[in-house]
Amino acid sequence: MARVVVFHHAQGLTDGIRSFADELRADGHDVTVPDLYDGATFDSLDAGVAHAERIGFGTLVGRGRDAVDGGPAEVVYLGFSLGVLPAQMLAQTRPGAQGALLCHSCIPTAEFDVPWPQGVPVQIHAMGGDELFRSDGDLDAARDIVASNDDAELFLYPGDRHLFTDSSLAAYDRDAAALLNRRVRAFLAGIG
């Protein structure tokens, strides 16, 4: 069993994110899903990103840090898109991290002033044709992490959807999401 903290994407803590967390719980993992938006959800990615911008990305990362403050250090951090910000920051900087699962996004490690820590395994998942992942530098950041870490994997799925793992959104891709889910579950089985 692994302890997992799941950070939601820009559209908020949707039913799809809750369902994903429930699947991990069904495998016996201890899963926490902080709500960085205090209950707000959005029908579109643009509306969710606008909300995140109003709050401030630094504030959202701080909320992620606060969500784990005082809790166990031995955690796997899982982030979806916007949720990769706190997930990756914590995996890189919080002692005791057991791993990271970065879905739909990846941040240059320099953003958090330290290299990716050796001994902290990471999987990065995105669709190969996702313009947000390709044009915002996420793909380059992911490749840099993989090149500098012996226990890092980058999985690119066929298609061009961004939030393809969220079963409550129109971007959901059942086949790609199922494959990602199998890989995530295998990763967590290796931790716990």
Residues 43-53, mean pLDDT to the nearest whole number: 96
Full residue range of the structural domain in which residue 94 is found: 3-191
CA atoms within 13 A on the CB side of 80: 29
Band of residue 192 on the pLDDT scale cut at 50, 70, 90: low
**Looking at residue 54, what is its pLDDT?**
96
Q: Distances in Å between the alpha carbon of 186 and those of 146, 189, 191?
A: 18, 5, 9
Residues 62-68, mean pLDDT to the nearest whole number: 96
pTM across the whole model: 0.96
Residue with tokens 């990362």: 61
**CATH number for position 47:** 3.40.50.1820
What would the DSSP string read from start to end of 97-151?
--EEEEES----GGGGTSPPPTT--EEEEEETT-HHHHHTSHHHHHHHHHHH-TT
Specify the long-range contacts of residues 23-26, CB closer than 8 Å, at least 24 apart: 23/181, 23/185, 24/184, 24/185, 24/188
> Each residue of 173-187: pLDDT tens digit?
999 999 999 999 999
Query: Cβ–Cβ contacts within 10 Å for residue 88, how many?
Result: 29
Give me the amino acid identity at 42.
F
Q: How many domains, in total, are found in the chain?
A: 1
Q: Beta 3-7 vs 76-80: how paired, if at all?
A: parallel
